[in-house]
Amino acid sequence: MVFRCCARPDRENRPNCLRPWFLASRPKTLPAAVVPVWAGSVLAWNLTGTWSPVLTLCALLSAILIQVATNFFNDALDFKKGADTAARLGPVRVTASGLLTPRRVVIMGVVMLALACAVALPLIQARGWPMLAIGLPSLYFAWGYTGGPVPLAYRGLGELFVLLFFGLVAVAGTVFVNSGQWFWPQSLLLGFQVGCLSTALIAINNLRDREEDAGTGKRTLAVRFGVAWAKREIMWLCYAPWIIGALCWNYLDSNVTYWIAPGVIFALLAVVSPVLRTPPSARYNRILAFAGAQLILFALLFTFGSLADRYWK
C-alpha cells in the first residue's frame, strides 16, 4: 500500500511514495505555468533592456505552485463529483484510483497555495497592490476551477479561464513585475499568443474526455458543441498565435516574427493534423504532450526572436 510505504524508512520504497504526488501534479500541464513567466520576462527585457532574476524566480515558483494546487483540487473534486470514471481515457487520477485520499490531496493543494503566497511576498513588496489584484483571484480560481458555487470546468468556462489567467494576466503581470510598466499593446499581444497555446491543452483534454464528461454532467465546450467543433477550436488555438503574431509584431516594429515559421510547422505536424485525423481516444495523451512542447517551443522561438530584435535589428 502507498500509505504504508510512506511510513517506512527503507530506501527501496521511497520512490513509490512520491509517484502519486508526481502524477497528481500533472507535469504535462506545467508549461502553461512556466511559459507566461518566461515569455513575459523576455518581453520586459526586450522593451527595457533589463529584468529582475529574483522577482522572475518568485513569479515562476508562485505560478507553478498555483498550477499544481489547481491540479490537486481538480483531481480530488472531480472524484468526489463522480467525473472520473472507469471509462477514463486520460492519465491515472490518484484519488479515483485509490492511491491517495481526496482529503490528503485537498490538504496538499492548500499547502501549495500557502507556499505560493509565501514566495509571492517579494512581488508584493516590490510592485504593490497590483500583485494582490492578480494574486487573489488566481488563488480563488485554483479552487473555483473545479469547486465552489460556479465551478468553471463544469460550466464550459475552462478555456476562457486559461486564456485570461494563463495568458493575458500572467504575461502582463510578469512584464509589470520586471519593469514596473505594463506595456499594454505588447503585453496583450504576447499574452493572447501564450493564452491560446495554453488553452489548446485544456481543449485537447476536454475533447479526449468528451464522452465521459457528457455522462457525468460536466458541460465542457466539447460536450456542448460536439467533436467537429472542438477539433476546429483546437486548430485555431494552435494557429492563431502564430498568424496574429506575424501580423501584429511587425506593426509594433519588432522582428520577432522571423522565428514564427518553425512554430507553424510544428503546430501542423505535431498537434493539428493528429487531432483532425484521430477520433477522441487515449492517443490524445500523446498529442497533449506535444501541445505542451509547443508552448516550450513558442517560448524558445520568442526568446531567439527577441535576441535578434535587440541585437540585429
Q: How far apart are CA 99 and CA 101, in angstroms?
A: 7
In a domain, 137, yes or no: yes
In a domain, 2, yes or no: no
Q: How far apart are CA 87 and CA 212, in angstroms?
A: 7
**pLDDT of 10 above 80:** no
Q: What is the CATH number of the domain that holds 234?
A: 1.10.600
pLDDT of residue 246: 84
Give residue-wise pLDDT tens across range 33-92: 999 999 999 999 999 999 999 999 999 999 999 999 999 999 999 999 887 776 677 788
In a domain, 223, yes or no: yes
pLDDT of residue 313: 60
pTM of the full structure: 0.92
In a domain, 1, yes or no: no
- Residue among 310, 54, 13 at smallest CA distance from 178: 54
Mean pLDDT of the chain: 91
Residue 288 grid coordinates? 497533449
Residue 301 grid coordinates? 522561438
Cα→Cα distances 158→153, 164, 181, 186, Å: 5, 10, 29, 25
How many domains would you assign to the chain? Answer: 1
Residue 300 grid coordinates? 524558445
In a domain, 298, yes or no: yes
Percent of the chain whose predicted confidence (pLDDT) is above 70: 92
CA within 13 Å, CB half, 189: 19
Mean pLDDT of 270-280: 97
Contact 285, 214 (CB under 8 A): no
pLDDT of residue 257: 66
Mean pLDDT of 284-305: 94
In a domain, 6, yes or no: no
- Residues in Cβ contact with 298 at an 8 Å cutoff, skipping those fewer than 6 apart: 35, 39, 193, 194, 197, 241, 263
In a domain, 213, yes or no: yes
Q: How far apart are CA 194 and CA 42, in angstroms?
A: 13
- Domain holding 199, by residue range, is 17-311
Lowest mean pLDDT among 133-137, 144-148, 191-195, 245-249: 245-249
In a domain, 141, yes or no: yes
Mean pLDDT of 99-114: 97
